[in-house]
Structure 1
Amino acid sequence: MTSTTTLAAALPAEHRARLLEAAHEVSFPVGSRLFEEGRHADRFWIVRSGTVTLDLHIPGRRAAVIESLGHGELVGWSWHFPPYVWQLGAEATSPVRAWEFDARTVRAMCADDAEFGRAVAVWVGRVVAHRLHSARIRLLDLYAPYGSGSRR
């Protein structure tokens, strides 16, 4: 993930503090599924420690891992956009500690404070753009005759 999409870089300190007031701490053991593609997105997380992988269901094949997320990164963006349905799946690939947020609460906070809401929307938008790019590169690597052509 790019430094502009982590919580610390994406939100000004006052908005970060306000968001974290709505958080509670959770943990997930290795192998826990945080969410499944196609299900209702009613919460999201920011990783404090550990690793979460995002995956994409591919019919007739094993799920493709799109990206690995770590400290300070947003897990889940589908909670922000109707119809609030997960577009990917997520799994803890190491023990994970995270801040968990109720989506409805955060959306209400965004609606009540336009400046806060804009900051959150820009952050989530950056994350979506980054994830779309990551998914494209990963799928090209897996399925295109010459891969993505990226030189990582």
Structure 2
Amino acid sequence: MVASGRYSDATPLSAAALGAATEEFLDHSWRRFLTVVDHAPTLIDRCRPASSPWPDDAATLSRLADAITDTETLLHEVVHGGPMPSQERNARAWPAIETWLTDGEIFLRQARVSASHRRPALPVSAPARPLTAARPMHRSH
């Protein structure tokens, strides 16, 4: 372990390496969370927990919406403000990301139940025909 610089589970032995791994994780989490920030507000607006089997989810959806609003504010500062160190951005984004990691399943079930319609089944227009070769194979004996 000492020679490799890692524990048996591949975790770095040094605190400095753990700090770098944490920052890398947080940077990756930030980039992935931006997809949630892009798409979740519209889906949250469509959710109607009071008319779902889980009316108590309203408080959780409110927390998730607040987390998105906080992240949108942060994103605006990152894009339009002065330079922001990634450590500061990550520290400010983490509470919202943690909220989504904690309560994301509730959001998903509410989004699923509030979907306005299911995809219709595709009609079968003609029976399936077996594939035929373009030309017969010529065999030599």
Q: What TM-score does the superposition give when structure 2 sets the normalisation length?
A: 0.30
Higher helix share: 2
Greater RCO (Cα-Cα under 8 Å, separation 6 or more): 1
Q: What TM-score does the superposition give when structure 1 sets the normalisation length?
A: 0.28
Higher strand share: 1
Larger radius of gyration: 2
